[in-house]
Structure 1
Amino acid sequence: MQTRKSPAEMGVEQLRAHVADELARTRRRSAVLTDSVDDEDLIKQHSPLMSPLVWDLAHVGSQEELWLVRDVGGAPAIRPDIDDLYDAFKHCRKDRPELPLLGPAEARKYVGTVRDKVFDLLDRVRLEGRQLVDRAFAFGMIVQHEQQHDETMLATHQLRTGAPVLTADPPPVAADAGSLPPEVLVPGGPFVMGTSTEPWALDNERPAHEVEVDAFFIDTTPVSNGEFLRFIDDGGYDRAELWSPEGWAYRCRAELRAPRFWERDGDGDRWLRRRFGHVEPVPAREPVVHVSFHEAQAYATWAGKRLPTEQEWEKAARFDPRSGRSLRYPWGDQDPSPEHANLGQRHLQPADLGAYPAGAAPCGARQLIGDVWEWTATDFLPYPGFSAFPYREYSEVFFGPDYKVLRGGSFGTDAAACRGTFRNWDYPIRRQIFAGFRCARTPRAGETR
């Protein structure tokens, strides 16, 4: 397999071409998500948890204008009058439909105008000289930002009602799933966590630092729907002893009975799920998705295990004991391909357990990248030596015990916004995101000899 150079290894003209390709590819995805519905759907708020799709569309253009057109390019503002409307910190999602937002046609015209100016800028800007432009960081940040909002818009599509509007091929099946061990051992010892060399890594992934991790077992694959059904059937949602006090309070307040978008059929004999407008039987072999941190933690307790720490998750995903170094991805240093992972909205659901053998980690775990974001037990905190860049509001303002770290990306996460070091975070009650989990456990006496 031919390995594409990373932005760190590209010549200047090759880097410009790569940035142009990534910008265009990302905008095509945004168009799929917004052109697939009519104007009424674009301006409608499908859930108070989410913005109207038209807000996300104009927001990615506003951020692109602020960082690339104005800051990197030094050009005059195109639409200074809308800066406050699309500042995510000034208006919470539930209030955004009441703002005087750009309409669908005006939003499309605006983001197109911004993009034309960015392509002109890309042809002439020096990609060195200051941190913001070195190795095209600001352009990579904007690609990742738009892809993150594309995943958010995909989650909004899952929340909308009506006939299906998105299509995709089904994901591959696993040929050897039955022969996989239920868990794998990750030996104890140090490894290098985070990165100081990935040119488009965001501030919370930096810097690289050595971490000592005791030996642990981690599930070979994420927890499946079928396994989660056994938790439900065993009264998992009714047993307070399985839940943390915060989790139990939330379970009672929200009246949780199953993952979000699950429902019983008319006879009550089986579970169905709603997926982008389709109602179908819950597939037992897929990773469970749309569960909160609290549900994941309760399941792990029921199974006699626990959620992995963020450090454990990254060591399982990146550490290669043969070379003693941390890889960019579980399979090595090359960028993800369709053989490695379920990413980029290529499929509109997780793949069966054990899929993507080419994406296996050195420890033997599968599907650590793609399919479902995986909850960890760790609060979102800075690494030693953290420095906010290029603005505090990307990461620093979220640090603390209110947010839990998720790792690995989902079927809706693009490869540009997913690395072995990439960190996501959210409130532990969130269920609309494409989140699942896998369990870990501490070895019993004598198990690692």
Structure 2
Amino acid sequence: MQHGQVKPAPETARDPRAHLLARYRTVRERTEALAKHLTPEDMLLQAMPDASPTRWHLAHTSWFFEEFVLQRFEGSFAPYDPHYAYLFNSYYNSVGEQWPRDRRGLLSRPSAADVFAYRAAIDERVEGLLSDLSEGGFAEAAEIITLGLHHEEQHQELLCTDIKAAFALNPLAPAAFAMPEALEEEPEDQGPAANDRWVSFEGGIHAIGHEGEDFAFDNETKRHKVYLDDFSLHGTPVTNGQFLAFIEDGGYRAASLWLAEGWDWRAREAVVHPVYWRKVDGAWFEFTLHGLIPLRPDRILSHVSAYEAFAFAEWAGARLPREAEVEVALSKSDPAAGQFLDPAGFVHPHLVGRDNGLGSAFGTVWDWTQSAYSAYPGFRPAAGAIGEYNGKFMSSQLVLKGGSCATPPGHIRATYRNFFPPDARWQFTGIRLARDV
């Protein structure tokens, strides 16, 4: 997930310090709530090089505030532990060397208890700093703290997807989160026809990208104009039942449906179904953060690669949307209306929204696009270490839009640009079809 330069949101509260402090506490407490049901042993698991242990996420997000806030603004700064800058730095090469990413699961020390103590100490120092800074110093620090909070929210989603990837390897199919006592009442599956609708959008010249004083990562800028032909997006993301029909029709065996690189990946990895689907005694189940549950055909499909998405779209007689098309569609939807991360809730895609507009536009699953992740016209990375992340990853990745059920509420917007390589499946990635009009 990306990092970058930001502008703080305009402050409307009477007491900006109190407002920022309240948000700081909310974000930090949510991270720890996500680890509530995990054991110290769970927190050390690393399923693959792309994923990180829970313990590392907990420490890294604290190191960010220590490195970029306390070291810069604390008058008598001293590191909590000099070793942590090496152990918990991610990719900030201009800050210093890092422990190898693919070996984070080997760090049994510091212990989970040590990491929580580290978090508490950093929180105490940041909160003290917010009280002590002059007006000018506060304004400058608030910008970096705001960035740090959005950075931590990204790691909240990664914490969920990374522990899911680790638990999925366990034959006991353990649950990372408790299943809510009562899920929202869900209607019976109405079949594919209930969701078979398209929403049309007028082409022409559209402006995309971020502008204004609200928070945004640097890769969302600059706002610029693009030309689009008339297009339609499917009213809902692809469901489990629709993808099951693709499987049963031989979709994973039909080379003509696949990109060449995708076909090679499918063969090399022996992929025959979505990564978290399981067949038990002839019945389909899917692994979730709440354990193994029966596969519901009317729930939204998740955890598919862009290669699988391309193949399904070809099979369905459609295509994947372009980034600009999805952004134009999202700009007409409410970013607060969607299924987002709730540590006490159901962290798995719910049913599709059945309305007259674009159902599940925000949240639930990230929509793969066919657009390469590249710089917008006029893009300039932020100065210094915090500008390292976005620009240097603009190669061999595709853009995803809209957020997921593991994205924290209030974190997403129409201009948000997520990005992953096309073979990535451990994120809550789904499919929304597009077609030309």
State the 1:191 CA deviation: 2.0
Cα contact 1:180–1:354 (8 A) shared by 2: no
- Greater RCO, 1 or 2 (C-alpha within 8 Å, sep 6+): 2
CA distance in 2, matches of 1:74, 1:119: 14
CA distance in 1, matches of 2:138, 2:393: 26
State the 1:394 CA deviation: 2.1
Code of the residue aligned with 2:301 in structure 1: it is: V
SS in 1 for 2:370: strand
Unmatched 5+ stretches in structure 2? 1-6, 92-97
Code of the residue aligned with 1:232 in structure 2: it is: I
Q: Which residue of 2 aligns with 1:354?
A: 353
Q: Which residue of 1 aligns with 2:323?
A: 310
Code of the residue aligned with 1:373 in structure 2: it is: W
Q: Which residue of 2 aligns with 1:16?
A: 17
Match of 1:113 among 121, 145, 156: 121
The verdict on how the C-alpha distance between 1:257 and 1:186 changes in structure 2, with shifts beyond 3 A counting, is same
Cα contact 2:53–2:163 (8 A) shared by 1: no
Q: Which residue of 2 aligns with 1:69?
A: 70
The verdict on how the C-alpha distance between 1:130 and 1:186 changes in structure 2, with shifts beyond 3 A counting, is farther
Matched, 1:104 2:112: yes
Cα contact 1:171–1:350 (8 A) shared by 2: no
Q: Which residue of 2 aligns with 1:423?
A: 417
CA distance in 1, matches of 2:22, 2:138: 23
Cα contact 2:402–2:416 (8 A) shared by 1: yes
Cα contact 2:241–2:296 (8 A) shared by 1: yes
Code of the residue aligned with 2:156 in structure 1: it is: D
Cα contact 1:294–1:428 (8 A) shared by 2: yes
Cα contact 2:209–2:415 (8 A) shared by 1: yes
The verdict on how the C-alpha distance between 1:385 and 1:77 changes in structure 2, with shifts beyond 3 A counting, is farther
State the 1:383 CA deviation: 1.0
State the 1:416 CA deviation: 3.8
The verdict on how the C-alpha distance between 1:34 and 1:176 changes in structure 2, with shifts beyond 3 A counting, is closer
Deviations 1:208-259 (A, max 9, x none): 2222211101111101111101110110000111000000000001110110
State the 1:22 CA deviation: 2.0
For residues 145-224 of structure 1, the aligned pairs below 5 Å read 145-159=151-165, 160=167, 161=170, 162=172, 163-167=174-178, 169=180, 170-171=183-184, 173=186, 182-224=197-239
The verdict on how the C-alpha distance between 1:74 and 1:377 changes in structure 2, with shifts beyond 3 A counting, is farther
Q: Which residue of 2 aligns with 1:405?
A: 399
The verdict on how the C-alpha distance between 1:92 and 1:240 changes in structure 2, with shifts beyond 3 A counting, is farther
Q: Which residue of 1 aligns with 2:3?
A: none
Question: Between the two proteins, what is the percent identity of the paired residues?
Answer: 31
Cα contact 1:174–1:353 (8 A) shared by 2: no
Match of 1:299 among 297, 302, 312: 312
Give the length in aligned residue pairs.
411
Match of 1:436 among 430, 433, 437: 430
The verdict on how the C-alpha distance between 1:433 and 1:377 changes in structure 2, with shifts beyond 3 A counting, is same
> Which of 10-19 and 64-73 deviates more?
10-19
Match of 1:285 among 288, 292, 298: 298
> Which of 88-97 and 310-319 deviates more?
88-97
Match of 1:263 among 278, 293, 296: 278
Code of the residue aligned with 2:353 in structure 1: it is: G
Code of the residue aligned with 2:411 in structure 1: it is: A
State the 1:317 CA deviation: 1.0
The verdict on how the C-alpha distance between 1:38 and 1:8 changes in structure 2, with shifts beyond 3 A counting, is closer
Q: Which residue of 1 aligns with 2:4?
A: none
State the 1:205 CA deviation: 1.0
Q: Which residue of 1 aligns with 2:45?
A: 44
Q: Which residue of 1 aligns with 2:286?
A: 273
CA distance in 2, matches of 1:404, 1:347: 28
Q: Which residue of 2 aligns with 1:343?
A: 340
Cα contact 1:354–1:367 (8 A) shared by 2: yes
Q: Which residue of 2 aligns with 1:396?
A: 391
> Which of 8-17 and 218-227 deviates more?
8-17
CA distance in 2, matches of 1:397, 1:131: 28
Match of 1:238 among 226, 232, 253: 253
CA distance in 2, matches of 1:351, 1:128: 45
Unmatched 5+ stretches in structure 1? 1-5, 320-329, 444-449
Cα contact 1:137–1:199 (8 A) shared by 2: no
Runs (4+) of structure 1 exceeding 4 A deviation are 72-75, 126-133, 171-181
SS in 2 for 1:417: coil
- So what's the TM-score if we normalise by structure 2? 0.87
State the 1:92 CA deviation: 4.3
Code of the residue aligned with 1:217 in structure 2: it is: S
The verdict on how the C-alpha distance between 1:348 and 1:47 changes in structure 2, with shifts beyond 3 A counting, is same
The verdict on how the C-alpha distance between 1:393 and 1:101 changes in structure 2, with shifts beyond 3 A counting, is farther
SS in 2 for 1:237: coil
The verdict on how the C-alpha distance between 1:118 and 1:172 changes in structure 2, with shifts beyond 3 A counting, is farther
CA distance in 2, matches of 1:29, 1:253: 39
CA distance in 2, matches of 1:97, 1:143: 24
SS in 1 for 2:399: strand
- So what's the TM-score if we normalise by structure 1? 0.85
State the 1:349 CA deviation: 1.1
Q: Which residue of 2 aligns with 1:87?
A: 89
CA distance in 2, matches of 1:372, 1:96: 27
CA distance in 1, matches of 2:388, 2:411: 18
The verdict on how the C-alpha distance between 1:369 and 1:44 changes in structure 2, with shifts beyond 3 A counting, is same
- Across the aligned residues of Structure 1 and Structure 2, the Cα RMSD in angstroms comes to 2.5
Cα contact 1:171–1:351 (8 A) shared by 2: no
State the 1:415 CA deviation: 2.3
Cα contact 1:67–1:138 (8 A) shared by 2: yes
CA distance in 1, matches of 2:338, 2:436: 28
Q: Which residue of 1 aligns with 2:94?
A: none
Code of the residue aligned with 1:396 in structure 2: it is: G
CA distance in 1, matches of 2:34, 2:189: 34
The verdict on how the C-alpha distance between 1:129 and 1:52 changes in structure 2, with shifts beyond 3 A counting, is closer
The verdict on how the C-alpha distance between 1:180 and 1:300 changes in structure 2, with shifts beyond 3 A counting, is closer
Cα contact 2:37–2:178 (8 A) shared by 1: no
Deviations 1:282-331 (A, max 9, x none): 11111100100100010001111110010111011115xxxxxxxxxx12
